[in-house]
Every structure is written in C-alpha cells, then in structure tokens.
Amino acid sequence: MSLPIFSAQQSLFGIGSLADNLFAPTNRYRLFAEKVWPLLAQARPVLETMYCADNGRPAAEPVVLAGVCLLQFLERAPDRVAMELLTMHLGWKRALHRDLDAGAYDPSLLTYFRERLLEHEQGRLVFDTILDGLSDVGLVAQRVRQRLDSTHVLGVVRQMSSLECVRETLRLALEAVADPAVAGQRPAAWAAWWERYVESKLDYRAEQQTLWEKLDQAGADAWAVLEWVLALPVAVQAQPKVTLLARVFEEYFERVEQGWRGRRQHVSASIVNPHDPEAQWRTKGNTKSWTGYQVQVAETAAEQPVATGEPTRQFVTAVETQSATGSDEAGMQQVLRVQQAAQRDRPSELYVDGAYVSAALIAQARAQGWELLGPAQPAVSKGRGYTSEDFTVDVAARAALCPAGASSTQCSRLEEAASGKVSYRFEWSWKCRECARREECVGKNQAHRSLVVSEHHDVLQARRREMKTDAFTGLMKRRAAIEGTISELVRAHGLRRARYRGLRKVALQNWLTGAACNVKRWLRLLAWDLEAVAA
C-alpha cells in the first residue's frame, strides 16, 4: 500500500484551529497533541519502511494509527470503540490533529497495522519513541537507578486437560487436511476419525478409566494420521496444524509394548491449548497458577522529593514478555539485553526481590559496573545441623573453618561439563571423628562433614550479612514502589489479561501498555507543572 501525504502541521480545519478554546492548557488531549503527537510524527520515517512508496491504494496514515493504538491503551478501549472515538470524540481529534470532518476508519485497520508492526520487527516502536522523548526532556536519565519485578499475564485460552488438548488438536489437523484434492488418498479410517473428533463431543461424565482409554485411543489415531500425512505432498505435511499435531503427540504420549500410551505426567512447557500453543501453564507457590505468559516490568527509581499530591516522576523503562515457565533471572537478562540494544546505559543500581539474586549474578553485575540489590536466598537447610552460613569460607584462599573452629583438610575444584559452573568442595575427614559437635553437624550416614559452595560464595555471604543491617532495609524500600506500578498497569491498562494470542502479539500489547502508562504519567506531570506556574 502507498502512503498518503503527511504534514505535521495542524490543518485549518482541525479541532486545534476551530475549537482550541474548548481545551484548557492542562487538558490531557491538548497536552497529548503538543507533546506526544510530535514524537509520533518523528517516527514516521520508520513507519514509512513498512509500506510501499508508490504502489497500491493509499493507506491510512500510520502516524494516526500509532496514536490510536496509544490512546486506546491509555483509555482501555477495544478496536471498534477506539475507531468510534476517533470519529466522534473531539478530544481524540484534537490529540491526533484530525480535521473536524475527517472520515472514519474501519476497526480492522488496527489489526492490520499491528500485524504490520510485528512483520517488520517494529513492535517496540511506540514504546521506544515515548521513552526517548522522556529522555530528551530530562525526565529519564541515561544511567539511573531502576527497580524490576514480574507478574503473570492470563492468556485468552483456557487450560485443557490432556484428553481435551489432544482431541482438539486432532480436530484442527483433520479439518486442515480435509482438502478435496487429496480426498482420493484418504485411508479407510478417515470416516471414523472425522466422526470421532470433528462431529462428536467428549462425555466428561465418563469414569476416569474410560477417559484414560480414550486418551490412548486418541494417541493411536494421532499416530495413524501422522503416518498417513507423510505420504501426502510436502505442502500438506507443512501445514501449521499438522506440525502442531506432531508436537502435541510427542509431548503427550510415550511408547509402550502395546503401542502408544498417554503420559501420566506432563512434559515441561507442553502445549495446554492448541489455539495458542505459546500460552503455557505455570504454578507459583501453593496458591497461584495460570495459563498464559509472564512479563517483566522495570521503572526508574530516582530519589526525587515530591510535594503533597504531586504526580510521580518515575517512568517505565522496560516491559518484556516471556513464556510463563521462564525464570526471573532469564527475564532480567532479557531486560538488560533489550536496553543495551536500544543504546541505553545499564542501571547504576537495580532493585529486585530474591528471585533475581544469586552469587554469580551479583558478581557479574559488579564486573559490569553496576549493582544488583536484592535479598539473597538463605542457605539450604535439611531441618537440623549447620548450614553453609555457619561456616567461615574463603574461596580465594581455598580455606574454610567449621563451627567448631577446625580448618578443612582438603579443597577440590568442581566444574560442570555442560554449564561450566565452578564450585568448591571442602572436607574435614578425620577432624570430625572426635568433634564434640559431630551429631549436630555430620549426617547419620556420613563419615565426615563436607561442604560444597559456589566460586562466588564470598559475595553471597557478604550479601547475607548486609541483609541484617538497617541500611540494607532502607535500600530495599526503593523496590517496593514497583508493586504499585504493576498494580497501576493491571487495573488501569489491563496488563494481566492478554487481548491477543501468541507471544509476539502479547509482547506488542505489553509494550503499548507500558507506553500508555508513561504518557499518562507525563501528561499528569505537565498539568501539575502548569498549575503550579499559574498559582
């Protein structure tokens, strides 16, 4: 599609020219038009690369569509409502420099625009544009303290049982290969498969044993379907629903002497609903479980005194989406990589909770010139006896003292072949024989006490000692505000419920959510400053 002629100037027939007196200087739509719209207009050269310069009918103006996407997440409006507001709402017209009689857009244009952003790897464009604008006006420094935390995002699909998931995947695969062109090559069992998985519904009132038998039968049928598809043209074999069936079959069934049997335990990160294969099931603790994704949220944590009632001056610096089964450590590394790719400096200090902290990560952060601040996990305890915290260990000197004051007699360096992780094992051998604390320290079936620690154990022990100080408790108060930011993103912008299916689309949603939150905070701060000047 070709692009229309674009002008950043306000039209004589725009709301800003005809009815600007309706909008006070502190009105958020006016402030949006004055501060945010120019940033979006500056991003048009990037948006132009997603379109053909002079081919096809003129497209809807991409800067306007980017602004609509931002406003709809700012006001939590679905596509159809957003387009109605663009047509009927004077505030939206003022914000996006629209003429009073500007024609309406079809809501489907927003879907195509989002797909175009993802197709050209520009999902972060709006978020980065707003964040760069905040940096340019001095509200977000290049190297600043940040805080980080994660929360779950519920997918738009429900969690299915093993039998439901396999049967639904079979139905989708059968419908995908029900091509009249291959009708003559259908096996004799085709009619039975179609009746069993496409036309029939599962009776959930059946006994447990009957349901297990149905799962085993579904596995045998899935294997037969996959074998039959192998004889079909490559175009049929490569259909997404067919490859999805192959993956589901591998995850849900295992080979036995009689054939194939449904697994009694799920494979980690297995598909739970074929309508969104990337939405995964996860449980966290004893009370929280969900099907969907996980998102990492970072914001600035600069110490700036604020007056009573003054809006926050902290802004979201990262909203990174990962699979539900991803770890917080991997999420933090993803946030840092993205910030580095965007040519933003690493935070001077990053405040996190215990899920992000390990001895290796603390040491890595210091080697890179920044501090990872969060509580270290306590030493593993087996219920009785001494833990590693009760020993005095000097890894550099390869020396250790037990709680009784005896030095180790042997130190061994251990390195895992797969990961390269290095650790050290200290042993006390004969010194434990006559020790008065032997029963408290040495296990029942052990000849003597041994201790295995990581190569960064000194760093870990220093953090554990630091955690007991009032100064560290004061530092950790800076992390607490991220909980309020996540609550704001959830309640005001719908962060915790996915609108779309698939990791890339959910990531786009979360970037737009973060951008909307930053815009809202910026507009409130601008209005506050204007009111303070007027007073």
pLDDT tens digit at each of 535 positions of the chain: 677 777 777 776 777 777 878 888 999 999 999 999 999 999 999 999 998 877 767 678 999 999 999 999 999 999 999 999 999 999 999 999 998 888 889 999 999 999 999 999 999 999 999 999 999 999 999 889 999 999 999 999 998 999 999 999 999 999 999 877 776 788 899 999 999 999 998 888 889 899 999 999 999 999 999 999 988 888 888 999 999 999 999 999 988 877 788 887 777 789 999 999 999 999 887 778 899 999 999 999 987 777 888 899 999 999 999 999 999 999 999 999 999 999 899 999 999 999 999 999 999 999 999 999 999 988 877 656 788 888 889 888 899 998 888 888 789 999 888 888 889 999 888 788 888 888 888 877 788 888 888 888 889 989 998 999 999 999 999 999 999 999 999 999 999 999 999 999 999 999 999 999 999 999 999 999 998 887 6
Distance CA 424, CA 457 (A): 9
b/e sequence 470-479, b meaning 16+ C-beta within 10 Å: eeeeebbebb
Tell me how far apart the alpha carbons of residues 502 and 343 are, in angstroms, rounded to a whole number: 27
Among residues 515, 508, 526, 524, the alpha carbon closest in space to that of 74 is found at 515
Q: What is the pLDDT of residue 441?
A: 85
| pLDDT at residue 350 in the model | 96
Nearest to 272 by CA among 282, 257, 262, 263: 282
pLDDT at res. 127: 97
Angle between helices 359-367 and 457-466 (to 10 degrees): 100
Position 120 scores a pLDDT of 94
Q: Write 341-347 long-range contacts (CB < 8 A, 24+).
A: 342/124, 342/128, 344/142, 344/317, 345/142, 345/143, 346/143, 346/370, 347/143, 347/144, 347/145, 347/146
User: What's the pLDDT score for residue 384?
Assistant: 62
pLDDT at 383: 59
DSSP 8-class letter at 417: T
Nearest in space to 59 (alpha carbons), one of 38, 75, 44, 40? 44
Alpha-carbon distance 335 to 317, whole Å? Answer: 9
Bridge partners of 425? 412, 452
Q: Which amino acid is at 94?
A: R
Query: Cβ–Cβ contacts within 10 Å for residue 3, how many?
Result: 18
Nearest to 90 by CA among 6, 12, 11, 22: 22
Distance CA 199, CA 374 (A): 55
Spatial separation of the C-alpha atoms in residues 438 and 429, rounded to whole Å: 12
Q: Which residues contact 309 (CB under 8 A, 6 or more apart)?
A: none
Domain assignments of the chain as residue spans, ordered by start? 15-122, 146-157+283-365+481-535, 162-262, 388-466
Q: What is the pLDDT at residue 382?
A: 66
- From CA 173, how far away is CA 241, in angstroms rounded? 5
Tokens of 228: 């039959």
The pLDDT assigned to 29 comes to: 95
pLDDT of amino acid 169: 96
* pLDDT (0 to 100) of residue 447: 82
| DSSP annotation of 22 | G
- Backbone φ and ψ for 415, nearest 5 degrees, come out as -135, 125
The CA-based angle 212-214-215, given to 5 degrees, is 65
Check residue 387 and give its pLDDT: 85
Nearest Cα to 442, choosing from 372, 386, 500? Answer: 386
Report which secondary-structure segment, H or E, holds 510: helix 503-534
- Which pLDDT does position 302 carry in this prediction? 84
- The residues near 374 (Cβ < 8 Å, ≥ 6 apart) are 351, 352, 353, 354, 356, 357, 476, 479
For the chain, the C-alpha Rg in angstroms (whole number) is 30
* Per-residue pLDDT at 100: 85
Beta bridge partners, 262, equal 253
Residue 437 pLDDT: 85
